[in-house]
Amino acid sequence: MSRKEEGLRRSVTPWGSYSWGYADVGADIFVALGLVFGAAAGASNVAFLFAGLVYVCVGLAYTELASAYPVAGGGQYFVMRGLGDMLGFVAGWAVLLDFTIDITLFAWGCIGYLSHLPVLHVLDASANPAVHFAVVFAAIAALALLNVVGVRESTAFNGMVSALDVVSETSILFFGFLFAFRPELLVHSMQTGWPSSFQLMNGISLAIISFVGLESISHAAEETNRPASIIPRTSIALILTILIFALAYSNLALGMQPWHAIPAGSGGHVHDFWRFLGFPENQDKAVAVMASNIPYFGALAALYVPVLGAILLLISSNSGVFGSSRIAYSMSQFKLLPAIFERVHQKYKTPVISIVTFCGLAVIELIFAALQGNAGYEFLGDLYAFGAAASYTLVFVALIALRLKDPLTPRKFKIPWNIPMRFRGERVEFPVVGVIGFAGIFAILIFVLYTHHIGRIAGPSWLLLGIIIFTVYRKSKGLPVFGSQPRNWSADQVGILKNAGELELMDELVEKLKTRQREREGPPA
């Protein structure tokens, strides 16, 4: 079977592209809200704001790169192309950690939200850990099967639930600000609950969890119709949606007065409602707890928000299955991982080996998290934050490198604030936003390593394990470990644009390449 026949199927529509990103990022507030309030307390909105500004830079970088290089690997491919094979592997391996954690963390959160319903309280991780573990395991197995069947089916699943959740999250905010929000309570909460510097850094490092997943759009780029046109629109819409939701939810929680007494154990003070959201037993269901405490609307929200939140978290876990398999697929194509991960199912055209392998790793992570007891949810959050910060740091460096090394590739979308200059005889535009984003995400990476004792051990250990695997594999194939394989990136880019259906951009690139070749050859003798 030819490589073309084995390729991934282009079946992702504009709404499908948006929903892949929303399925991942939109669910993050359901996971992160309680964790951030448990760490940053009265400055949780500040933590979300700092992480949100970095997220905007990350989103703009991914939007430019994914529309210019519409391939399945996302950040891993961008880093490999800009910085070489070794760093490309490191970026991909860090993202693989994130997406396998995504599978487990969001499946865990899914069951946590369902346990908020009285009839399903038996699923609560604190009360019945064995039952909780079994149900999370079953959810991961079901998602693996769904993704083997095909991206079209899982995209339809994402799109339907994403639309419902956008309406639901907007409703929670509307009724929350209408009936429960008090501006003076927001100010009081920030004054009385302001955290220490260590706690604030911890909160910021966890707040980045709310914005992880935008790269899901780029991972679906190779299966998206006309990606250079579609990806910028869907990415910008997603950036604005998630930023508004994260900032609105954090400020609402700090300024919200419940419509009934807070349950025993919290002190019974309405000013401590945000602290109540950060309690370990509420961290995996914080949005449902918030919604149920809104006057009038809360009675209805208590019935449906846990269910809808659980479904959204399930499709975010589904995005983790999709993302990890596509990264491994891309890495194997470029001989960063064994060729077995490149194989696609003959009937369904999906990377079945990658799907099964990384769902298996997600189960292993689930076992480790379950062994942590009540700290299992935070354990997964620590690793999730590390993987995101590490991979995003390299993506910003790759963005700058590709602007300098590959100025001819057409960029239908280009991030603003660029400095024109010349580099190696070519006219290039240096991205100021890339530098700002790098500084912000690198700071968050330092916060993660400084404030998370598990993250600073397990995260680097994962990277070290990957480098060992990479070294052994490359040596066994006679490939350079620290160097890169010779590649004709220009020819590859022409093929990428052709396969994506971006024929106008392909023609533009070909003409630029011919012009550069003529300039280098000089006038005929």
Provide the Cα torsion 130, 134, 135, 140; round to 10°: 140
pLDDT more than 70, % of the chain: 88
C-beta of residue 95 within 8 angstroms of C-beta of residue 215: yes
Render 35-62 in DSSP notation, one character per residue.
HHHHHHGGGHHHHHHHHHHHHHHHHHHH
Amino acid 364: pLDDT: 92
Amino acid 186: pLDDT: 94
Residue 221 has pLDDT above 70, yes or no: no
Structure tokens at 270: 């309405």
Residue 11 has pLDDT above 50, yes or no: no
> At the top level of CATH, which class does the domain 3-476 belong to?
mainly alpha
Domain segments of the chain as ranges: 3-476, 489-521
Query: 410-438: per-residue pLDDT in tens?
Result: 998 999 999 999 998 889 999 999 999 99
Cα 497 to Cα 114: distance, rounded to the nearest angstrom: 44
**Three-state secondary-structure class, residue 20:** helix
Beta carbons within 8 Å of 153's beta carbon, 6+ residues apart: 146
What is this structure's pTM? Answer: 0.86
Query: 156-212: per-residue pLDDT in tens?
Result: 666 777 788 889 999 999 999 999 999 999 999 999 999 999 999 999 999 998 887
Q: Measure CA 257 to chain center.
A: 32
Query: 271-309: per-residue pLDDT in tens?
Result: 578 888 888 788 888 999 999 999 999 999 999 999 999
Residue 53 has pLDDT above 90, yes or no: yes
Mean pLDDT, range 243-262, rounded to an integer: 89
Cα 269 to Cα 97: distance, rounded to the nearest angstrom: 40
Cα 317 to Cα 522: distance, rounded to the nearest angstrom: 55
Of the two residues 476 and 270, the one the predictor is more confident about is 476
C-beta of residue 313 within 8 angstroms of C-beta of residue 109: yes
Of the two residues 247 and 376, the one the predictor is more confident about is 247
Mean pLDDT, range 16-44, rounded to an integer: 83
Cα 216 to Cα 9: distance, rounded to the nearest angstrom: 16
Amino acid 150: pLDDT: 64
Residue with tokens 């009285």: 118
- Residue 473's Cβ-count burial label (10 Å; 0-12, 13-18, 19+) is middle
Cα 58 to Cα 346: distance, rounded to the nearest angstrom: 36
**Three-state secondary-structure class, residue 420:** strand
Amino acid 28: pLDDT: 86
Cα 150 to Cα 347: distance, rounded to the nearest angstrom: 10
CB atoms within 10 A of CB 520: 8
Structure tokens at 162: 């994403």
Q: pLDDT category, 18, cuts 50, 70, 90?
A: confident
Mean pLDDT, range 97-104, rounded to an integer: 90
CB atoms within 10 A of CB 174: 13
Of the two residues 140 and 520, the one the predictor is more confident about is 140
Amino acid 312: pLDDT: 85
The helix (run of H) or strand (run of E) holding residue 34 is helix 28-40
Residue 470 has pLDDT above 90, yes or no: yes
| Ramachandran region, residue 139 (left: φ > 0; alpha: ψ -120 to 50; beta: rest) | alpha
Amino acid 13: pLDDT: 58
Cα 248 to Cα 124: distance, rounded to the nearest angstrom: 28
CB atoms within 10 A of CB 467: 15
Q: What is the separation, in whole angstroms, between the first and last Cα of the chain?
A: 48
Query: 32-48: per-residue pLDDT in tens?
Result: 999 999 899 999 999 99
Average pLDDT, the chain: 85
Amino acid 15: pLDDT: 62
Residue 322 has pLDDT above 90, yes or no: no
